[in-house]
Structure 1
């Protein structure tokens, strides 16, 4: 019979542990479970702390932000409304008017010795890049005192001429009214109206003109109500 001869190295080798001695996948997962729960709890606490910090920061700065917004609106209001026309605070005396076409409009009245001299309100229409927010002032006779753009996302260097700081285009509306300007003239020249458009940017001035016309029509529809207010 053949006999197997073992070498000295084989005789002294430590036999491997049986497979049954190794931890199963389930046992390994059980070992990791406390660590995963700890990480989840830590993440939750961090998120809660960040949220708390943001809430506190918002509460501390909310008053300052509101004051800055009021200051910005007042600065624009002074551009469209001559100071000689009012001795009240138009922003503080603001009220809302429900309009059948434009919805709810907030109106800021200018009064001199208790008499209404003008109204200021905001409006917007969609331009090329999005809404173009405008503020305009109209006197008690329905004449435009001034128009300014508050915010827009139009193409810089091309359509931003609607800003008073970029050009005088927006000042062309000063003094106009429904009485001295025919309805069919409230368009850009490309559409048969009297207002200049910008080369390669007709949509932007078209939206501005539309908002100005809507503002005049709003004032005309509610002239008596505005005086009463």
Structure 2
């Protein structure tokens, strides 16, 4: 027969295991919520860097749609629409440069309604070489700022390349592949926006946000 002490110890161990599992589940949930909120905060910061506040009075993260186009990279991408007094003033495009030296490079590209680039930022993480390719990061170099003011007309198509390839953009010493990839990705995003039929600002918002992070 099983003694009462054995049964009692088994029950205690079972309750302890159940409590530990519950605690782990609660900790995991809290951690995941914090990670989500941290990502949304980082996104808001990046959006503000590529779409100046004076250009919109709406919340960009709440006025976003999902699109798919190979020019923006693989998979669905989010477009954040900027409006001022209800009028379209610009858009922030998610895009991916699939051909970076270390792999894919994710970008946020702010574009004014007239097609001018307002700002570009790299979305971490990326796998470009430290000390060389990572100069695409704003905290490492101001190279990423060189896109501001450019459009499909300034420069023309041939100008959307590094100097070595006959274009107007600088490269990094010893790391040409990385800037080439980013330049091509920004140019493709501008081509995508040019070819839209005006429906980007008429579609209903599609991206759900975690209100607990506000």
Q: TM-score range by the shorter chain?
A: 0.7 to 0.9
Output the CA distance in 1 between the equivalents of 2:130 and 2:19: 40
Q: Secondary structure at the match of 2:201?
A: helix
Q: Deviations over 1:90-130 (max 9, x none)?
A: 01111112336445321100111111101002111131112
Output the CA distance in 1 between the equivalents of 2:197 and 2:20: 51
- Displacement over 4 Å in runs of 4+: 48-54
**CA RMSD across the alignment:** 2.2
Q: Secondary structure at the match of 2:68?
A: strand
Output the CA distance in 2 between the equivalents of 1:50 and 1:217: 54
CA contact (8 A) 2:121 2:138 kept: yes
Deviation at 1:227, TM superposition (A): 3.3
Matches for 1:16-95 after TM superposition, within 5 Å: 54-95=24-65
Structure 2 gaps, min length 5 = 1-12, 204-214
Structure 1 gaps, min length 5 = 1-41
Output the CA distance in 2 between the equivalents of 1:136 and 1:93: 16
Q: Which has the bigger relative contact order, CA under 8 A and spacing at least 6? A: 2
Q: Deviations over 1:55-79 (max 9, x none)?
A: 3322122222211111100111111
Q: How many correspondences in the alignment?
A: 185
Q: Secondary structure at the match of 1:87?
A: coil
- TM-score, normalization by structure 1: 0.74
Identify which of 152, 168, 171 aligns with 2:145: 171
Q: Secondary structure at the match of 1:200?
A: coil
Q: Deviations over 1:119-170 (max 9, x none)?
A: 0021111311121111110011111000011122111111221111222111
1:202 maps to 2:176:
yes
